[in-house]
Amino acid sequence: MAKTRKEKEKILKELIEEFKNSPSFMFVDFFNLDSFSFFNFRNLLKEKQTKVKVIKKTLAKILMDKLGVALDPRNLEGSLALIWSEERDLLDFLKEVYKFSKKNENLKIVAGFYEGNVLNKEDLKELAMLPSKEELFSKVVLAVEAPVFGLVYDLKNFYQKLVFVLGNIKK
C-alpha cells in the first residue's frame, strides 16, 4: 500500500534526525534476496547496533539532498536498503555486510557515504578488506614485543652455550 505524503514526510524527518548522529551510511541492493535471508541479515545487523531501512529511491534522493550528499540513489541499481549506525563507525558494520554479501550473492553493496566522501562499491569493498582496529593493535603489540622476546631468548641462549662450551673444555 502506498504511503501518504504525510507519512513520507514523517519518515524523512525521522531519517534526517537519525543522520545528525550518524554521518556515515551505505546502500545495498537486496532485489533477489529471499525474505528469510533478508530477515537474518536484519537480525544480524540489529545485534550489532546497526539499523536497516528499506527506502524508495525518490525518498532516498530527497534525503540525500537534505543531508547535502552528492549521491543520487535513483541512478543505483536494484531495490535499496539504507544501512547506518549511531553507535558504530561505517567500517565496523561494513565488514559484517561484506561477509554476508560474500555468503549470499543476492545482496550487493552499491554505494556509501563516509567522512564527507561518496564511495562506490569498489571503494567500499576495499575498505571492508582492511584489518580491524583490534587486528592492527595486536600487530603493533607483537611488533613491539618481538625484539624484547628475541633479546631474552638470545641472552638465555648465550648462557646455555657458555655452559656447554665450559662443559666441553672440562672434559
Phi, psi of 52 (to 5 degrees): -130, 135
Cβ of 95: how many Cβ atoms within 10 Å?
17
DSSP secondary structure code for residue 130 in this structure: S
Crossing angle, helix 121-128 and helix 90-103, to 10 degrees?
Answer: 100
- What Rg value do the Cα atoms of the chain yield, rounded? 26
Residue 137 shares a structural domain with residue 71: no
Phi, psi of 119 (to 5 degrees): -115, 135
- What are the beta bridge partners of residue 51? 84
What CATH number did the domain enclosing 40 receive?
Answer: 3.30.70.1730
How far apart CA 105 and CA 121 sit, in angstroms, is 14
Residue 21 shares a structural domain with residue 64: yes
Residue 15 shares a structural domain with residue 93: yes
- Residues in the chain with pLDDT values less than 50: none
105 is written with which cell numbers? 550473492
- pLDDT score of 147: 85
Residue 24 shares a structural domain with residue 82: yes
What is the model's pTM?
0.76
- CA within 13 Å, CB half, 119: 22
What domain range is 101 assigned to? 5-128
Residue 80 shares a structural domain with residue 149: no
Residue 156 shares a structural domain with residue 74: no
Residue 124 shares a structural domain with residue 142: no
Residue 123 shares a structural domain with residue 136: no
- pLDDT score of 1: 63
pLDDT tens profile 107-152: 999 999 988 889 999 999 999 998 878 888 898 888 888 888 877 7
Residue 35 shares a structural domain with residue 92: yes
- What are the beta bridge partners of residue 52? 83
